[in-house]
Structure 1
Amino acid sequence: MSVRTTEGAGTGAETSPQPAPPAPGPSFGARLLGPQRRNLWFWVFVGPFAIGLGLFTYVPLAWSVYLSFFDAHNTVTPTDFVGLDNYTSMLGDDAFLGSLGTFLLFTVFIVPATFALSLGLALMVNRLRFAQAFFRSVFFLPTACSYVVASLIWKLSIFNGVRFGLANTVLGWFGGDQTAWLSTTHPPWYWLVIVTVRLWLQAGFYMILFLAGLQRISPQLYEAAAVDGARPGWQVFRHLTFPQLRATSVAVVLLLVINAFQAFDEFYNLLSDARGYPPYARPPLVYLYYTALGREQNLGLGSAGAVILALIIAVATVVQARWFGLGRKED
């Protein structure tokens, strides 16, 4: 009796079913393509752009960070590791710190001027009852112009510095003296040239942003304000229109500051000549250009400066976003 029980128990243990192995999951390629290859055309269109973005943007950025820790004179494959020496050298360089001061001065000029001009253009275009699309296109058209071409037009035709320049011609009509706009430092007339060309190039783009914000404001709010006795004009703009444009205004200010950090084309093409670049009005990117690609070609030092500049832009953007409350729920 006991023997049979033991044998039965043994037989039962031997014939108990084993758990089935887990089914293999879909491969990486299958997950990318999705069920029934629904994502195929997405990757057909996005794939080339993603590859180009990685090769021409992210790989150079990573390599620049790598170079910043090496003594890279005339080479992109350095072997002499110097740690943070390039960073300390840049932070102790008066010329680099002076270029940051140039940026701050440029920001003080260009950000309020562009903000006011683009907002004013948006308000005028938004009030038009006819040909609104035409004037919107006219003001936006300079955005498509190259910074290099616009800078050369400003330099050679408008602010030439000789009697054939448009600005000096207009001054001559009123009995004014000829002015060397780009080489006069007392007073610094070159700021007028730099700021006006940037205004002409970018005001139309920010006008479109403000125009989109204005068209999102409900007309019922203006009707309610009129019923409450609000006077059209400044009172309605101050207490109704401008508060409704808060999110757009924050985005515009952030973009303006970031673009001011990246100023290069207008400065370089307006102020440089056969003798080189003058010692004044040298923004960070122009200084880094001459550091990395100038006579010494110190790519390690230039890369360290580029990393410092990128960190400054990131910190400034985050601080502004927190200060303006970007992303917070509106009441």
Structure 2
Amino acid sequence: MRGRWRARGRRGTRGTREAFVRGLLGPQNRHLWFWIFVGPFVLGLTLFTYVPLAWSVYLSFFDAHNTVSPTDFVGFDNYAAMLGDDAFTGSLVTFLVFTAFIVPATYALSLALALMVNRLRWAQAFFRSVFFLPVACSYVVAALIWKMSIFNGVRFGLANTVLDWFGADQIAWLSTTDPPWYWLVIVTVRLWLQAGFYMVLFLAGLQRISPRLYEAAAVDGARPGWQVFRHITFPQLRATSVAVVLLLVINAFQAFDEFYNLLSDSRGYPPYARPPLVYLYYTALGQGQNLGLGSAGAVILALIIAVVTVVQARWFGLGRKED
């Protein structure tokens, strides 16, 4: 009797295993190629993204000086230390200032470019490609070009050459804090790098607007230009605008390359204009190498990004059915 039950158990286990494999591969192994192509990317995403993220959360609860395998559990002390650190809260203020500059500037420029390109009757693909091309440029390379060619020092650089033509005083763009001219350098390089990407998003939104709306507006006597844009084009771009603003805010939180490569030198990073990621970089990988504090700051920053994204999505009604 026991032998029969064991045989049935083995057959049941084997049948369950075979059913799982059939479900995984699909009928006639149709899912096999899906796993062949997607499997390596899923494995890489797990190993190089999700595992480090989980380990970072783990480190945030430990005293991790110069080690990634700590044993001294400190609970929420790292989080309290980060929230009570004036340098960290100051980096969040830097982010707010950067967001106040870059979000409206990028939104307005990318929308203006999209409107101009969309109205072109010839060479539209050429100009779309020209404006989109900077997106393919590395942030590091663009920052170095801005720093060494356009806003280089006091006596050199394109910007100071132009000022000299008009008889104006030359400016140390990256070291002058009163007024803070470095914001002009940081914002313009980010604006040049990302405006083309959001222009393409707005172009896609513009091409989804039915021409019948403009025809009906013309019949009703709407004037082409600002009146049509205000009452037809802009309302129809609501979903695209919400997505663009959300992406711009999230990308502003993640700003690092342009700040670090523009403002740091052989003496280190200056005490001003430190966004959160630059501060966390020096906390976790600087002289102290406090990976516990750095991980706690990264978790706090991730939570802030998540909360801000959810609040913005609910405020703008993202995902809500339009009337």
- Superposition TM-score tier, normalisation by shorter sequence: over 0.9
Q: Deviations over 1:198-243 (max 9, x none)?
A: 0000000000000000000000100000000000000000000000
- 1:213 equivalent to 2:205? Answer yes
Partner residue of 2:251? 259
Structure with the greater alpha carbon radius of gyration: 1
Q: Is the 8 A contact 2:110 2:198 kept in 1?
A: yes
Q: SS where residue 90 of structure 2 aligns?
A: helix
CA distance in 2, matches of 1:155, 1:27: 61
CA distance in 1, matches of 2:36, 2:260: 39
Q: Is the 8 A contact 1:161 1:178 kept in 2?
A: no
Tell me by how many angstroms 1:178 deviates.
Answer: 1.2
- 1:138 equivalent to 2:145? Answer no
Q: SS where residue 62 of structure 2 aligns?
A: coil
Q: Deviations over 1:287-315 (max 9, x none)?
A: 00000000000000000000000000000
Tell me by how many angstroms 1:279 deviates.
Answer: 0.3
Partner residue of 1:232? 224
Match of 2:86 among 94, 100, 122: 94
Q: Is the 8 A contact 2:160 2:171 kept in 1?
A: yes
Q: Deviations over 1:254-277 (max 9, x none)?
A: 000000000000000000000000
Partner residue of 1:198? 190
Query: How do 1:101-140 and structure 2 match up within 5 A?
Result: 101-140=93-132
CA distance in 2, matches of 1:264, 1:31: 44
CA distance in 1, matches of 2:124, 2:235: 24
Q: Is the 8 A contact 1:254 1:317 kept in 2?
A: yes
Q: TM-score, normalised by structure 1?
A: 0.93
Q: TM-score, normalised by structure 2?
A: 0.95
CA distance in 2, matches of 1:38, 1:182: 58
CA distance in 1, matches of 2:156, 2:83: 44
CA distance in 2, matches of 1:108, 1:143: 22
Q: Is the 8 A contact 2:154 2:173 kept in 1?
A: no
- 1:72 equivalent to 2:69? Answer no
CA distance in 1, matches of 2:265, 2:20: 55
Tell me by how many angstroms 1:28 deviates.
Answer: 3.0
Match of 2:48 among 45, 56, 70: 56
Residues paired across the two proteins, number: 312
Letter of the structure 2 residue corresponding to residue 251 of structure 1: A
Match of 1:280 among 272, 275, 285: 272
Q: Deviations over 1:17-36 (max 9, x none)?
A: xxx99973444333211111
Partner residue of 2:145? 153
Query: How do 1:283-322 and structure 2 match up within 5 A?
Result: 283-322=275-314
- 1:35 equivalent to 2:27? Answer yes
Q: Deviations over 1:160-212 (max 9, x none)?
A: 02322000000000001110000000000000000000000000000000000
Partner residue of 1:83? 75
Q: Is the 8 A contact 1:90 1:96 kept in 2?
A: yes
Letter of the structure 2 residue corresponding to residue 32 of structure 1: L
Percent sequence identity over matched residues?
A: 87
Unaligned stretches of 5+ residues in structure 2: 1-7
Partner residue of 1:12? none
Letter of the structure 2 residue corresponding to residue 192 of structure 1: L
CA distance in 1, matches of 2:204, 2:280: 37
CA distance in 2, matches of 1:166, 1:315: 41
CA distance in 1, matches of 2:62, 2:313: 34
- 1:174 equivalent to 2:169? Answer no
Letter of the structure 2 residue corresponding to residue 176 of structure 1: A
Tell me by how many angstroms 1:103 deviates.
Answer: 0.1
Partner residue of 2:4? none
Unaligned stretches of 5+ residues in structure 1: 1-19
